Chains A and B, each alone.
Chain A
Amino acid sequence: MKYLGPLAKDNPVLVQVLGVCSALAVTAQLKPAVVMALSVTVVCALSNLIISLMRSTIPPRIRIIVQLLVVSTLVIVVDQFLQAYLYEVSKMLSVFVGLIITNCIIMGRLEAFALSHGPLPSLIDGVMNGLGYGLVLVVVGTFRELFGTGTLWNFPVLPHSFYEAGYMNNGLMILPPMALILVGSLIWILNSAKKSVK
């Protein structure tokens, strides 16, 4: 149970407000959002695991450099796999896969958790934080694709009769500012929910 925090009450995006840059950039459609979420989850989980395994051998003076080395290696591997197996999506994500290296969630978990915990808890912590980030991406991506282009996962879901009746896609949805507004709204909802619990 104690590991479930990152999904809601310690959510890395909504509560810690980390990793927002990529959350805004890749959520215009659901598919890249999901691929990005999975990529970050994989990198976060594996880097947590590896750093945790190495933690007693890492000289503290160069620990950030070692962390960066591990994270960037993983990110490059993920990027290469995307280019080989999910070429279209990797083009949509473009620089944002590479920028996972500087995603504060990952460095944050390494410093705050992996350096002082065993491999298994670190792995779980990494997965949960990746999923917490991913959850926000999927929610925002769903809203933006549905209302911005009328599709989900590139399949049209809004019936033609809607458009015939004068419904129009909201062009603002696919631009980054709308992602910021949506993330802001999620933070708002989460915060008011928390208060009512108190």
Chain B
Amino acid sequence: MKTFSNKYIFVYVSVLVLVVAVLLTAVSLGLKPRQEANRKAEKAAQILRAAGYHDVDGSEAVALFEQVAQRASGDGERETYHIRCADGENGLVVYVNGKGLWGAIWGYVVLAEDLNTVKGIVFSHKSETPGLGANITEEKFSSAFVGKKLYDEKGNFVSVRVLKAGQGSDVPDVHRVDAISGATLTSKGVDAMLMESLPEVIAKLKTVNKK
């Protein structure tokens, strides 16, 4: 077997790493616009789904989104939007995020103008278990949130709790939805996400509105 000097090995590796770095940078920069367009379309489609527009995808979603939604405040993912929902009423879109069982979970909540009633909601996740926790993305779960209230009659924040039947029996129907059986920890994650994220965003929205 041929032997190689240490110097050769160092030079060899350095050159190789340099070539790879240049190549990867080129690929990444070249494909970035397309990847970002994909992400934008996905976000638009998700928000539209929460607002009651179904089966819109890709560039169609981006176009419709620009038509019905208007940026209200915030930046990046934390942006909030004014949106005209599919039922003709106006709503506000807020972004929430938290932790599921295996990784991040997030969602967009469409609130009615009273900032109390949930008009629609959509969830996404990074790596929840398929068939169990991953079911938070399904219509069957998210549609249960429609019409639920965030504040009780005295104006205290209760959130929409995600609870198993029999759990927290003092929480009235208007503030709770059923957890997914077999996905206790993901359900708890959704519960905590809404509990923690919403008061903060709503408080911000209220100060913006007052101005």
Interface members, chain A 40-71 (any B CB < 8 Å): 56-62, 65-66, 69
* Secondary structure dominating the interface of A: helix
A162 interface residue (CB < 8 Å to B): no
Contacts of B38 in A (CB 8 A): 83-84, 87
Q: How many A-B residue pairs have CB under 8 A?
A: 57
Q: Which residues of B contact A (CB under 8 A)?
A: 1-2, 4, 8-9, 12-13, 16-17, 20, 23-24, 27-28, 31, 34-35, 38-39, 42, 126-127, 130-131
A107 interface residue (CB < 8 Å to B): no
Among A62, A94, A174, the one with the most B-chain Cβ atoms within 10 Å of its Cβ is A62
Contacts of B28 in A (CB 8 A): 80
* Secondary structure dominating the interface of B: helix
In Å, the complex CA distance between A73 and B28 comes to 12
Contact between A57 and B12, CB atoms less than 8 A apart: yes
In Å, the complex CA distance between A35 and B42 comes to 20
A163 interface residue (CB < 8 Å to B): no
In Å, the complex CA distance between A95 and B4 comes to 37
Not counting A59-B4, A61-B4, A77-B27, a sample of 13 additional A-B residue pairs whose C-beta atoms are within 8 angstroms of each other reads: A56-B2, A59-B8, A59-B12, A60-B1, A66-B13, A73-B20, A73-B23, A77-B23, A83-B38, A84-B31, A95-B127, A171-B131, A175-B131
Q: A73-B20, A84-B38, A87-B42 are in contact. Are A174 and B130 (CB under 8 A)?
A: yes
10 contacts between A and B (CB under 8 A): A58-B12, A60-B2, A66-B16, A69-B16, A69-B20, A76-B27, A80-B28, A81-B27, A83-B31, A174-B131
Question: Which chain A residue shows the least CB distance to B24?
Answer: A76
A167 interface residue (CB < 8 Å to B): no
Contacts of A83 in B (CB 8 A): 31, 35, 38
Contacts of B31 in A (CB 8 A): 80-81, 83-84
Contacts of B9 in A (CB 8 A): 59, 61-62
A28 interface residue (CB < 8 Å to B): yes
In Å, the complex CA distance between A65 and B16 comes to 11
Interface string of A162-190 (1 = CB under 8 A from B): 00000000010011000000000000000
In Å, the complex CA distance between A87 and B38 comes to 7
Contact between A175 and B130, CB atoms less than 8 A apart: yes
